[in-house]
């Protein structure tokens, strides 16, 4: 098995020409037509397993390739198996070498495999050296074809061929500075699958996360962070060009989950190593905040009042809202566009691949275990985004050395024990705030909402570790958490809406809502607040009755 480490980006014709004209690329450029036939079952069983099987014609040769995601691995790093074959027909016997050998061994699965879609494109490629790293740069231009439907392909692939992986990211960041690249999270196989099924892009909630019970805390951390990144990338394109406000909402959720994960695993992943990533995620989420606040204000306040017969009185508010939303959506789209958004994605992937927390958790006099090689100081420094605290020379500090050893033990600790301790602490933090939401003041309710959100994100991340009765208990617990978080979230949205219209002179709605309109909004909030508080109290009772599943 080979491990394919690849970064993929969308291109337009002008960027493609500019990259191909780069002296580092043009000198060794070669062009080659490639055509591939992808195989799957009628119900796309391989796609459901995040795997792909194809036969590709390369000149006069045929090559059969199987790819699948690696356990606890990012999408840009996949297992790859290749075999020469005589024609476009599959050789099913060689698939016994792959992780899906048992699946391929079943006669009904083998008989169900059939061509699902094709890709036909011309690849312009060159080998590029960046420091000690060798990279294949390839620009593919052509089409993915499924029956009568087709979709154009124009993308850049950067594949690690040799040397340190850090050089791959350094080269990608260099190209991004010059050409404003946009990450393309979908492989050609994924695009072909969507084309074959007629599936359309839609706002993406957090993908289902399956943690292995034998995983270490560090492995689980990486899996959760990559899950958050997948959700972010799954919504970024829609937030840039779509009108559905759910894209922005889910992108913000992904960033909140990411930052919450950094806190959840702080006992294993030192804060000094994660602060820079957290700051970048918070900055990106802040750029999406105005659009989300205005969307919620319309959906939760103005639209219901208009439906209740107050549209005429609020007409000026709707006009102001339209202007503000256009500005906020443009801000959100720019935040999720190249080159800045691409820098964030590359920084995050580079940080995960280099794992600088290992070096930070190993005292200078200690050696990292063979299963977790520490990054070199040069690699750790290079992998640190701007603004991060770069590791300096180790100091002979016995207290710090003990802390380092503790962090290292926690990284290697089993995830079940780590999860149980984390969820216990988070659960107690919620209980400590105490009491039904209706009995808390606004500040305490805000603290409760934050604590509930952190607990829910952690519980969702660790729920897959359970089985049998515990799995059912996890579902009950998470449902109670979701209800409580939703009720507290509505109360928070109401407070945000009140702040929007209570800004006074110079506020966003200054002059767009008269005194009678403000009185109408105030009465609406008071009535709604009483109902929501009652709902929140019932949600609190349900949460207190739910059994812990860990």
**Cα gap 328→326, rounded to integer Å:** 6
In a domain, 434, yes or no: yes
For the segment 403-428, the average pLDDT, to the nearest whole number, is 85
CA 531 to chain centre: 35
Tally of domains in the chain? 2
In a domain, 219, yes or no: no
- Retrieve residue 7's tokens: 């970064």
CATH of the domain at 101: 2.40.320.10
In a domain, 170, yes or no: yes
- Structural domain harbouring 55: 2-197
**Cα gap 383→372, rounded to integer Å:** 17
pLDDT digits (tens, 9 = 90+) for 177-220: 999 999 999 999 999 999 999 999 999 999 989 898 999 999 99
In a domain, 298, yes or no: no
Helices marked H in 119-245:
165-179, 188-197, 217-241
* pLDDT surpasses 80 at 482: yes
In a domain, 268, yes or no: no
Q: Are 415 and 211 in contact (CB under 8 A)?
A: yes
Confidence of residue 394 (pLDDT cuts 50, 70, 90): very low
- Give the per-residue pLDDT at 361: 65
Last residue of a domain, one of 197, 214, 231: 197
Place of tokens 């799995």: 471
Percent of the chain at pLDDT > 90 equals 82
Last residue of a domain, one of 157, 178, 197: 197
- Give the per-residue pLDDT at 73: 57
* pLDDT surpasses 80 at 372: no
pLDDT digits (tens, 9 = 90+) for 443-465: 999 999 999 999 999 999 999 99
- Give the per-residue pLDDT at 405: 62
In a domain, 282, yes or no: no
- Give the per-residue pLDDT at 359: 82
Q: What is residue 465's DSSP assignment? A: G
- Lowest average pLDDT, out of 104-108, 350-354, 359-363, goes to 359-363
In a domain, 516, yes or no: yes
In a domain, 33, yes or no: yes
Last residue of a domain, one of 147, 169, 197: 197
């Amino acid at each position: 098995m080979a491990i394919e480490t690849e970064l993929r980006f969308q291109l337009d014709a002008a960027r493609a020409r500019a990259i191909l004209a780069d002296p580092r690329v043009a000198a060794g450029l070669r062009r080659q037509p490639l055509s591939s036939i992808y195989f799957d079952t009628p119900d796309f069983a391989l796609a459901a397993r995040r795997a792909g099987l194809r036969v590709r014609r390369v000149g006069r040769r045929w090559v059969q390739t199987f790819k699948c995601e690696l356990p606890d691995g990012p999408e840009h790093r996949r297992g790859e198996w290749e075999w020469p074959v005589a024609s476009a027909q599959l050789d099913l016997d060689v698939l016994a070498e792959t992780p899906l050998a048992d699946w391929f061994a079943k006669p009904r699965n083998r008989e169900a495999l059939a061509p699902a879609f094709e890709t036909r494109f011309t690849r312009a490629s060159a080998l590029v050296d960046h420091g000690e790293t060798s990279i294949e740069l390839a620009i593919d231009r052509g089409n993915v074809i499924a029956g009568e439907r087709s979709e154009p392909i124009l993308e850049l692939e950067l594949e690690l061929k040799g040397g340190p992986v850090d050089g791959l990211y350094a080269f990608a960041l260099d190209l991004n500075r010059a050409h404003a690249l946009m990450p393309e999270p979908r492989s050609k196989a994924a695009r072909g699958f969507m084309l074959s099924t007629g599936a359309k892009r839609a706002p993406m909630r957090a993908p289902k996360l399956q943690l292995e019970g034998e995983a270490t805390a560090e492995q689980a951390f990486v899996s959760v962070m990559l899950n958050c990144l997948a959700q972010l990338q799954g919504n970024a394109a829609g937030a840039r060009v779509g009108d559905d406000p759910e894209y922005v909402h889910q992108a913000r959720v992904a960033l909140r989950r990411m930052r919450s994960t950094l806190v959840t695993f702080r006992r294993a992943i030192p804060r000094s190593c994660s602060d820079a990533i957290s700051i970048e995620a918070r900055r990106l989420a802040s750029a999406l905040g105005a659009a989300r606040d205005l969307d919620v204000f319309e959906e939760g306040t103005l639209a219901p009042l208009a439906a209740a017969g107050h549209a005429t009185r609020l007409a000026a508010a709707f006009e102001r809202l339209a202007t503000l939303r256009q500005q906020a959506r443009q801000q959100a789209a720019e935040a999720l566009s190249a080159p800045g958004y691409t820098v964030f994605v590359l920084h995050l992937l580079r940080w995960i691949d280099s794992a600088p927390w290992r070096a930070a958790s190993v005292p200078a006099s200690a050696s990292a275990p063979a299963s977790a090689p520490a990054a070199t100081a040069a690699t750790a420094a290079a992998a640190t985004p701007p603004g991060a605290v770069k590791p300096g020379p180790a100091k002979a500090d016995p207290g710090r050395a003990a802390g380092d050893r503790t962090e290292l033990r926690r990284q290697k600790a089993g995830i079940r024990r780590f999860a149980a301790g984390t969820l216990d602490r988070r659960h107690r933090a919620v209980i400590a705030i105490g009491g039904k939401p209706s009995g808390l003041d606004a500040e305490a309710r805000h603290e409760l909402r934050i604590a509930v959100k952190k607990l829910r994100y952690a519980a969702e991340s660790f729920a897959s570790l359970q089985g049998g009765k515990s799995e059912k208990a996890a579902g009950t617990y998470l449902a109670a958490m979701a209800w409580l978080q939703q009720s507290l979230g509505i109360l928070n949205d109401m407070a945000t809406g009140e702040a929007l219209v209570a800004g006074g002179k110079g506020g966003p709605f200054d002059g767009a809502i008269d005194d009678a309109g403000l009185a109408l909004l105030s009465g609406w909030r008071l009535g709604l607040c009483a109902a929501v508080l009652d709902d929140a109290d019932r949600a609190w009772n349900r949460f207190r009755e739910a059994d812990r599943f860990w």
